[in-house]
């Protein structure tokens, strides 16, 4: 038999079953919120003293004691106890052990329900800041690479079939745009979660003359949460965070899929430096793109965590329920997975080496400039549908004779339409095709360079 918890054991006549104690504990994983828990307690004690609920000597002892405990934890000297259930009670029990009676006064006017809701918000706020920093680092890498590769021509694909030539820089900036939206979603989430639940206590508020605005401002929140019941029961912010993360991981997964394809011998568009790859224990020739493969794989668990949290919340009546303790492991794993994936990508992307000759060779196969020939005919007065038909026949000849449109003689092409003149070859080159798409958001290298400048400006804001 384990001991009854001293912080709530008063009304119990038998000790908690040893297995139940371990089963219901969260300290194994919520100890990672110790810094947020201590910051919340210091703000709460400061507010209580200002409101005259705590005397100055108790406040000073509590603050000094909590700071000493934080240092103990950071030195690895703190003894976490399953019997004390969670991070909140572990810290509080240690405080009382260190400073005596004053430690027992800290929990005046609060509950673990508002305390845990506050800790998670503080934790996620920090996590979002760290994620945004890595996201920005990755975006910088993409912009640098995009500028360097603005003139590099690769085949653009639809249905994974060669469609039209594009600038490699343009393709890189497509990824940048995805990440720009992800960044916006994290910032929205941060702004919405930045409210302080402290003072909601168990669910109904408290009888002490507390100042919730003061606690909120001490912790850097925009203000207190509006409704005490909602304050302790709401985990929307965790779901929003996981939702933003699920979408980010979807983007990184698509990005990964392209890198895996491009690094293959069949494509050969990019070279991923050895330090981001591993070999095979049996096949000496292998160099595997492990980082993108693993990130693609890790998107699965993050998607799962989002569904897990939605399901966790859907059946809960107001206000707090113990179910909520299950919010932390998926949340923490999401933070770790997203941070790790972003870090790997931010390190790897600037080191990617393009292989322009392979990209060019691929772009010259598959009639990537067929649309350009149709557009040329339209400029010469041929209706687009007729032009489409004419070019289709020219492509047929190319397929049968194993040649690209640009490799045909003028007379051959003129057999399909006498609107075709000697100037047609300007439209059939890869360079001509790119340069012609010279509008906002297009793939002309000049437009890619302009987009790079806009991306830099966005990053500097």
Task: Return the active site residues.
Answer: 159, 280
Spell out, one character per residue from 58 to 87, where the chain touches ligand ARG: x when CB under 6 A holds, - when not. Answer: ----------------------------x-
Q: Candidates 290-298, 318-326, 346-354, 429-437 — which segment interacts with ligand ARG by CB under 6 A?
A: 318-326
380 and 415 Cβ atoms separated by less than 8 Å: no
Q: Which residues contact 418 (CB under 8 A, 6 or more apart)?
A: none
Closer Cβ to ligand ARG, 167 or 324, answer by number = 324
Query: In the 8-state DSSP scheme, what is residue 2?
Result: P
324 near ligand ARG, judged by CB under 6 A: yes
Of 226, 220, 231, the closest CA to residue 42 belongs to 220
Closer Cβ to ligand ARG, 197 or 442, answer by number = 197
Number of residues that bind ligand ARG (CB under 6 A): 10
Closer Cβ to ligand ARG, 322 or 409, answer by number = 322
Closest distance to ligand ARG from the beta carbon of 254 (Å): 35
Gap between the Cα atoms of 161 and 299, Å rounded: 26
114 near ligand ARG, judged by CB under 6 A: no
Query: In the 8-state DSSP scheme, what is residue 166?
Result: E
Of 102, 29, 27, the closest CA to residue 63 belongs to 102
Q: What are phi and psi of 223, to 5 degrees?
A: 175, 180
Tally the residues of the chain. Answer: 461
Closer Cβ to ligand ARG, 270 or 335, answer by number = 335
Residue of 59, 112, 170, 190 interacting with ligand ARG (CB under 6 A): 112
Strand pairing category for 153-158 and 161-167: antiparallel
Residue of 21, 36, 206, 325 interacting with ligand ARG (CB under 6 A): 325
Gap between the Cα atoms of 446 and 386, Å rounded: 31
N- to C-terminal Cα separation, the chain = 59
**Could you count the other beta carbons within 10 Å of the beta carbon of residue 283?**
8
Distance of CA 425 to the CA centre of its chain: 45
Closest distance to ligand ARG from the beta carbon of 21 (Å): 13
Half-sphere exposure of 448 (CA within 13 A, CB side): 29
Q: Candidates 44-52, 275-283, 316-324, 403-411 — which segment interacts with ligand ARG by CB under 6 A?
A: 316-324
92 near ligand ARG, judged by CB under 6 A: no
Give me 153's structure tokens. Answer: 């021509």
Closer Cβ to ligand ARG, 194 or 325, answer by number = 325
Residue of 159, 314, 322, 409 interacting with ligand ARG (CB under 6 A): 322
Closest distance to ligand ARG from the beta carbon of 30 (Å): 6
Q: Candidates 210-218, 270-278, 319-327, 387-395 — which segment interacts with ligand ARG by CB under 6 A?
A: 319-327
Gap between the Cα atoms of 56 and 19, Å rounded: 42
Residue of 16, 21, 96, 113 interacting with ligand ARG (CB under 6 A): 113
Q: Which residues contact 351 (CB under 8 A, 6 or more apart)?
A: 272, 273, 275, 276
Closer Cβ to ligand ARG, 146 or 239, answer by number = 239
Residue of 26, 139, 194, 243 interacting with ligand ARG (CB under 6 A): 26
Instruction: Note the residues at the interface with ligand ARG (CB under 6 A).
Output: 26, 30, 86, 112-113, 116, 320, 322, 324-325
């Amino acid at each position: 038999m384990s001991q009854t918890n001293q912080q709530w054991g008063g009304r119990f006549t038998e000790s908690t079953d040893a297995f139940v104690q371990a089963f219901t504990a969260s300290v194994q994983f919520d100890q990672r919120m110790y810094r947020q828990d201590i910051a919340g307690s210091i703000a709460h004690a400061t507010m209580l003293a200002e409101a005259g609920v705590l005397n100055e000597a108790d406040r000073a002892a509590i603050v000094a004691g909590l700071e000493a405990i934080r240092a103990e934890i950071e030195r690895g000297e703190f003894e976490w106890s399953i019997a004390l259930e969670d991070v909140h009670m572990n810290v509080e029990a240690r405080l009382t052990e260190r400073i005596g009676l004053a430690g027992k006064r800290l929990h005046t006017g609060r509950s673990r329900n508002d305390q845990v809701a506050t800790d998670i918000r503080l934790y996620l706020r920090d996590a979002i800041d760290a994620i945004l920093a890595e996201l920005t680092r990755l975006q910088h890498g993409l912009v640098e690479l995009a500028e360097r590769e603005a003139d590099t021509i690769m085949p653009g694909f639809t249905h994974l079939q060669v469609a039209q030539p594009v600038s490699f820089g343009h393709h890189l900036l497509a990824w940048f745009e995805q990440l720009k939206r992800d960044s916006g979603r994290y910032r929205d989430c941060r702004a919405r979660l930045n409210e302080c639940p402290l003072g909601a206590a168990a669910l109904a508020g408290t009888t002490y003359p507390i100042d919730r605005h003061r606690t909120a401002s001490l912790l850097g929140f925009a203000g207190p949460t509006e409704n005490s019941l909602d304050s302790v029961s709401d985990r929307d912010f965790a779901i929003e965070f996981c939702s933003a993360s699920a979408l980010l991981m979807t983007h990184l997964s698509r990005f990964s899929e392209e890198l895996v394809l491009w690094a293959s011998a069949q494509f050969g568009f990019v070279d991923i430096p050895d330090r981001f790859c591993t070999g095979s224990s049996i096949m000496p020739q292998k160099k595997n793109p492990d980082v993108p493969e693993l990130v693609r794989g890790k998107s699965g668990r993050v998607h799962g965590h989002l569904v897990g949290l939605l399901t966790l919340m859907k059946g809960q009546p107001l206000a707090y329920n113990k179910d909520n303790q299950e919010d932390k492991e998926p949340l923490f794993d999401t933070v770790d997975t997203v941070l790790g994936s972003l870090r790997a990508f931010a390190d790897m992307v600037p080191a990617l080496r393009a292989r322009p000759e392979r990209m060019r060779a691929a772009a010259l196969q598959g009639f990537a400039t067929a649309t350009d020939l149709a557009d040329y005919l339209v400029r010469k007065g041929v209706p687009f549908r007729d032009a489409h038909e004419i070019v289709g026949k020219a492509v047929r000849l190319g397929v049968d004779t194993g040649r690209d449109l640009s490799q045909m003689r003028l007379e051959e092409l003129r057999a399909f339409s006498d609107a075709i003149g000697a100037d047609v070859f300007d439209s059939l080159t890869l360079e001509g095709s790119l340069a012609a798409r010279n509008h906002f958001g297009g793939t002309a290298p000049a437009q890619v360079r302009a987009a790079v400048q806009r991306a830099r400006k966005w990053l500097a804001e």
